[in-house]
Amino acid sequence: GKRLLLVEDNMINMEIANMILLDKGFTVETAENGKIALDMVSSSEPGYYDAILMDIQMPVMDGYEATERIRSLPDRSRAQIPIIAMTANAFKEDRCKAAESGMDAYITKPVDVLTLRYVLRRVLR
């Protein structure tokens, strides 16, 4: 029953992640880049999204900038939505940059279903 915003510019990756999440019982909305995600979060009702799965490398606005802008929204319930990085970059500096931008967790691609489930459970408590 939880609603997630899946932000991913690669349509194949988006379809795969969407199928996994729907199979696990989540309601999923999608955005193709960070700007669209920011607009969706900004215009949503407080508490509408339970978490955001955010790709890092995207056109228009990357995941780091989108996260920083979401974190700076004036409404705290929107600004504090758990944000999970989803990226192919698995280097320590990438994890650090994700944390510095305000992301709550980090998942590498290709997405492992058990890891995704564990991380979602942890951030949705």
Question: What token pair was written down for 100?
Answer: 């510095």
Looking at residue 88, what is its pLDDT? 84
Q: Which residue has the tokens 């890092």?
A: 56
| 14: CB partners within 8 A, 6+ apart | 6, 8, 30, 32
Q: Are 101 and 67 spatial neighbours (Cβ–Cβ below 8 Å)?
A: yes
Single pTM value for the model: 0.94
Q: Which of 3, 1, 2, 7 is nearest to 84 (CA)?
A: 7
Buried/exposed code over 5-17 (b: 16+ C-beta within 10 A; e: otherwise): bbbbbeeebbeeb
Kindly report the average pLDDT of the chain as a whole number: 93
Q: Read off the amino acid at residue 112.
A: D
Q: What percent of the chain has pLDDT over 90?
A: 86
How far apart CA 98 and CA 104 sit, in angstroms, is 8
Question: What token pair was written down for 73?
Answer: 């929204």
Looking at residue 91, what is its pLDDT? 79
* pLDDT value at 60 more than 80: yes
Looking at residue 98, what is its pLDDT? 92
Distance from first CA to last CA of the chain, Å, rounded? 13
